[in-house]
Amino acid sequence: MNHSNLPYDQGTYFILNKQNDRIYVGASGNVRTRANMHYAALARGNHHNAALQSDWMTYGAGAFEFGLLVENMYSLCVRDFEAFFVRLYQSDNPRYGYNIGFFDGRQPPSKTYAEQIKAIARAWQISNRRYSDEVIRRCIAHT
């Protein structure tokens, strides 16, 4: 997906390097605007993530894909989903991703917590991207 095709809604997104499969995971209240900010900074050569910037310069813009992981989640869950996907894709490990130092100063999600977030994601997908009472209750309970 191209960064300009992403929704303006809140959600959790990724930037994937298709050459080496390293991934950056982020979350925003406005996914398209945030993706455009990433793209512009990378194109200017001054992105805050040095490893991502270096690979962008090495492989070029065409080697990267911007995409959506979770759209329109209840606002209290956006950062929880970001942490969940960072852990899932191990993008805090330089071998697999660009979210280096993501968990510095904060506790990574436990396996139990990750299972709860997975349950929220499944409920969200089943509910056709509508907020069920159960999804909202779980989001509030686990933030």
pLDDT at 120: 61
Chain-wide mean pLDDT for the chain?
78
Query: Which of 91, 83, 101 lies closest to 143 in space, CA to CA?
Result: 83
What's the CA dihedral at 114, 33, 98, 123 to 10 degrees? 20
Global pTM exceeds 0.75: no
Q: Do 53 and 61 contact (CB within 8 A), yes or no?
A: no
pLDDT at 35: 93
pLDDT tens digit string along 97-126?
999 888 766 655 555 656 666 666 665 554
**pLDDT tops 80 at residue 129:** no
Confidence label for 75 from pLDDT (cuts 50, 70 and 90):
low
Confidence label for 82 from pLDDT (cuts 50, 70 and 90):
confident
Q: What percent of the chain has pLDDT over 70?
A: 65
C-alpha atoms less than 13 angstroms from C-alpha of 44 in its C-beta half-sphere: 10
- The C-alpha atoms of residue 64 and residue 2 are separated, in whole angstroms, by 9
pLDDT at 9: 81
Higher pLDDT, 56 or 86: 56
pLDDT tens digit string along 20-53?
999 999 998 888 999 999 999 999 999 999 999 9
- The C-alpha atoms of residue 20 and residue 85 are separated, in whole angstroms, by 18
